[in-house]
Each structure stands twice: as structure tokens, then as C-alpha cells.
Amino acid sequence: MADSNKSTSYLENRRGEKTEQQSPSISFIDNAIKMRREAHARNVVLAWGLLNLSLAGMIYTEMTGKMISTIIRFHVALMVH
């Protein structure tokens, strides 16, 4: 009975080692896939950042344009009166 427990634990340990130690080609493929996903994620973050920055710039330009035109109209109205 004790011998079967030892052999079972030995086999479980060996299976664990096989899953931890992958062949170099599988490990290379996994790393390549992981790197590609990370690169894609970085591109998505960069695209969203650029979109947000562009939108903020357009809003700022629109708001300052309105503010400037309002100030000019106010000064012109003061000069006329």
C-alpha cells in the first residue's frame, strides 16, 4: 500500500515537471503569441490616447474660439456705445 502511494506521488511529480518544462519550440511560440498580444494591446491604448488627445484639442479650440469671439464682440459693443 505504501509502495503504490510512493509511485503515484512520483508520477504526479514527473507530470508536474513536464508541464513546467515545455519544449523550446512550444515556449518560443507561446512567447511570440504573448508578445503579439501585448503589442496589440499597446497599439490599442496608443490609439485611444491619440483619439482622446485629438478630441480634447478640438474641444479646447472650439471653446477658446468662442471665448475669443465673445470677448471681441463685447469690446466692439463697448466701443460702439
Higher pLDDT, 51 or 72: 51
Q: Mean pLDDT for the chain?
A: 77
Mind giving me the DSSP string for 11-73? Answer: HHHHHHHHHHS--HHHHHHHHHHHHHHHHHHHHHHHHHHHHHHHHHHHHHHHHHHHHHHHHHH
User: Looking at the predicted structure, is the pLDDT value of residue 71 above 80?
Assistant: no
Q: What is the CA radius of gyration of the chain?
A: 33
Residue 42: CA count within 13 A, CB half-sphere:
6
